[in-house]
Structure 1
Amino acid sequence: MLLIKNGTILTMAGESIEYGQVLVNEGKIIAVGRDISIPDNCEIIDVNGGFVMPGIIDAHCHIGMCEDGVGFEGDDINEGTDPATPHLRAIDAINPMDRAFIEAYENGVTCVCTGPGSSNVIAGQFATIKTKGKRIDNMIIQKTAAMKVAFGENPKKRYSAKNQSPSTRMATAAILREYLLKTKAYMENKGKSSSFDMKLESLVPVVKGELNVKAHVHRADDIFTAIRIAKEFGLKMTLEHCTEGHLIADELVKEGFYAIVGPSIGPRGKVELKELNFETPAALHKAGIKIALMTDHPVVPVHYLPMCAALAVRSGLDEETALKAITINPAEILGISDKVGSLQVDKDADIVVFDKHPFDIQAKTTLVLIDGEIVFERS
């Protein structure tokens, strides 16, 4: 049993608690407050006025898929041989020995949703995992968290270079529709035919609305194409990147889709990033759209997610929403808020302590717990 005391508790579930305490036992939070009854034989850590918050969550990255400092041998992010690969699973490519995982949890990022890139129209299945471990099977929160699909420049670039479809946005949309229609037909014929199709089988929960679609969209017209197809087929979907979302926030709020925004640090390296800025999260939030922030690691190293949130605050997002955008909001969007995202009783004891407010550029983690285990403690 472990008690963290004498900190400002950023619960993400209501008011913050000054000089508060968090009690942990067997990997779970069992009490949060100011005057917790301390059991006998309880280990006590005094954080001396530090800031205590839930483990940080990156809702969209490629950690472990594109290994840090390795190159081709560690790059398993894009299967660029076929524009439709829904049967691919991130868990078969994530390498927990990627050193980026150490940087993640040592800097407070305790949970990530990671998966394939955006070269393919249908890229495969993301997974949600904790960031500490040696074996991916023991790190999983969601083995299949979402199906990645991509619109815009990336599929065009990959396949036009091969003189292959898609080389236009029309073909990208057509390929996605084709596979969704084939899946519907496959479902209707199940039991009548003995033929098995692994790709279509993988898309069945998508068509049923049971599995979320992560739609890679930057430009406004691509965002609307993704929404058009989602409405045609009744898909559950999140808008990933949503770079031009601030230009169409008034329209997006009518549709009810969540936005996972970023990465907003870096050059405008392609045409569809020409509107890239840190004002997007604030504009979407003010319009009434639930947002989370992402790094798209390795585009932005995953441990800089708090800095991304701080820069969003500098550009107009309120501090409380920015904190939620890297904790409880991604947890809710990913469907794991019963486990992580806030400091509440019965949730996983994924806890981070900073010596200063987490949005202070000089703030350092002093203590990190995952599932109640101390995985990092600054000496």
Structure 2
Amino acid sequence: MPADNPARPAPRDVALVGGRVLRLTPDWAGEQEEATVLLRDGRIAAVGADVEVPAGAEVVDVTGQWVLPGFVEAHTHLGVHAEGEGWHGADVNEKGVAGARLRSLDGLDPADRGFADALAGGVTTAMILPGSGNVVGGQTAAVKTWGRTVQEMLLRAPVGVKSALGENPKRGGGSAPTTRMGVAAHLRDAFSAAQRFAARRARAVAAGDPVDPAVDAERDQEVLARVLAGEIVWQQHAHRADDIATAVRLAEEFGYALVLNHVTEGHLVAGMLAEKALPAVVGPLLTSRSKPELRNRSVAVPGILAAAGVRIALTTDHPVVPIQFLALSATLAVKEGLDRDEALRALTVNPARILRLDDRVGSLAPGLDADVVVWSGDPLDVMSRAVRVFVGGRQVYRWADGEGVVADPGTGAGPA
């Protein structure tokens, strides 16, 4: 885990007792149990009805409340498109000079009020992506939603590289492609250059020649070579069915790991996605049909994809939809046909597995990060709210006396 702030006292053992626990592990089949969740040294130490609470542990009685892993939001612009700043304050799209070497972390502001909103909505891990104004937007990062600095919040980076198909990159201006053909050609050129770069590097290593650091355009190629090697994923913005098909075609041509994002018309190609075992980050669902690519937007899409056998995650695309409405998105998807248990998976274990973070987050399992949320009731009930949020074993959010209180990231003080 990232280094803790030495100014904060280390959290002691915390035992959440008497709650209705949903583990959301990969083999979870909807079970709910009255159990204890023990948090120690920033990790989940034990989960079960027979867990022994050690002497000196802080015991938190959560009888009648629901205990789940913190939600994992798979596609956000938290910190790079800050709340209250408008588009003029957004650091999501680099104008004119975009590429894989750009890093979302370098534009992230931990003071963005959206992080407090995330905690109020039970979201403890967020994927931070550049915007979709460029064909290749830059590197993505997974962060915790509480912390004083980027390094304290960082879970993993890079997780992947953001790329966009469709209308958005066509409107990028300057030397950007202006047609779907041009966007696809740009990606083929970029990956072909990365293949040549990787081959040159391999030849140099085999010959025992010194390998100089990448410079200029080579820095983009070096990152894309990591995508080609399978080290990080390709996070592809695609709404229309034809753009989804183009994303699949390019991934098969170059052999990289593809994670589809938005997938507004995924229901039109659900069989193809299931056959190819391609995951989908679906959403945002709570939007109008604000552009041509969203003409076929439907809250039923997640249920159709999941029923076809596609592993799905849900997203708000914050700030397109405020991040605290992630659970509400799942509730509405259930109303339109998504299996209820699958909706909970789509907020937790599924995005963690899709983004290769399941060794750290997404489930209540011993050894994983102690990112745990106590809900007043069923999180898919719109009247329920997150009442306690733990990140790394420390309580960082509490709902009490009619308001939510976030612990001070600088000192770790509160909430009681």
Deviations 1:195-216 (A, max 9, x none): 7322212211012222100010
**Matches for 1:27-38 after TM superposition, within 5 Å:** 27-38=42-53
Post-superposition shift, 1:16? 2.9
Superposed counterparts of 1:1-379, under 5 Å:
1-13=13-25, 14=28, 15-72=30-87, 74-82=89-97, 84-159=98-173, 162=174, 164-190=175-201, 191=204, 196=215, 197-379=218-400
8 Å contact from structure 2 (residues 352, 358) kept in 1:
yes
Q: Indicate conservation of the 8 Å contact 1:6/1:19, yes or no.
A: yes
User: Is the contact between residue 352 and residue 365 of structure 1 (CA under 8 Å) also seen in structure 2?
Assistant: yes
Equivalents in 2 of 1:237, 1:250: separation in Å? 16
> Structure 2 counterpart of 1:79, which letter?
E
Give the SS at the match of 2:172: helix
CA-to-aligned-CA distance 1:114-168 (integer Å, 9 cap, x gap): 1201111111001001000010011111120110111000011222xx4x44110
- Give SS of 1:221's match: helix
CA distance in 2, matches of 1:166, 1:228: 19
Partner SS, residue 166 of structure 1: coil
Residue 73 of structure 1 deviates from its aligned partner by 5.5
Instruction: Say which SS state the counterpart of residue 237 (structure 2) adopts.
Output: strand
Contact 1:17 1:33 in 2 (8 A): no
Identity %: 40
Q: What is the one-letter code of the residue matched to 2:18?
A: N
Note the C-alpha offset of 1:51: 0.6
Kept in 1, the 8 Å contact 2:273–2:279? The answer is no
What letter is aligned with 1:60? H
The one-letter amino acid of 1:9's match is V
Q: Is the 8 A contact 1:8 1:16 kept in 2?
A: no
- Deviation, structure 1 residue 80: 2.3
Secondary structure at the aligned position of 1:85 is classed as coil
CA distance in structure 1 between the aligned counterparts of 2:19 and 2:239, rounded to whole angstroms: 40
Determine if contact 2:303/2:338 at 8 Å carries over to the other structure.
yes
Give the deviation of 1:317 after TM superposition: 0.5
Give, in angstroms, the shift of residue 247 of structure 1.
1.2
Distance in 2 separating the partners of 1:373 and 1:114 = 23
Query: What is the TM-score when the length of structure 1 is the normalising length?
Result: 0.96
Distance 1:80 1:245 in 2: 30
| CA drift at 1:40 | 1.1
Q: Distance in 2 between matches of 1:364 and 1:72?
A: 30
The AA in structure 1 aligned to 2:116 is I
For residues 103 and 232 of structure 1, do their structure 2 counterparts lie closer, same or farther at Cα, with a shift above 3 Å needed? same
**What is the alpha-carbon distance in structure 1 between the residues aligned to residue 129 and residue 364 of structure 2?**
27
Please report how far the alpha carbon of residue 36 of structure 1 lies from its aligned counterpart in structure 2 after TM superposition: 1.8
User: Structure 2 CA distance, aligned partners of 1:10 and 1:339?
Assistant: 17
Q: How far, CA to CA, are the matches of 2:245 and 2:221 in structure 1?
A: 25
How far apart in 1 are the matches of 2:226 and 2:107? 22
For 1:373 and 1:107, the matched residues in 2 are separated by: 17
Shift of 1:107: 2.4
Moved over 4 A (4+): 192-195
Q: Across the two proteins, how many residue pairs are aligned to each other? A: 375
**RMSD value over aligned CA atoms?**
1.4
> How far apart in 2 are the matches of 1:377 and 1:264?
28
CA distance in 1, matches of 2:354, 2:366: 20
Write out per-residue CA displacement over residues 200-237 of structure 1, whole angstroms, 9 at most, x where no aligned residue: 12211012222100010000000000110100000111
Q: 1:209 to 1:38 in 2, by over 3 A?
A: closer
Q: Distance in 1 between matches of 2:53 and 2:144?
A: 29
Tell me the CA shift for residue 344 of structure 1.
0.8
Any idea what SS the aligned residue of 1:316 has?
coil
- Can you give the 5+ residue segments of structure 2 that lack an aligned partner in the other structure? 1-12, 401-416
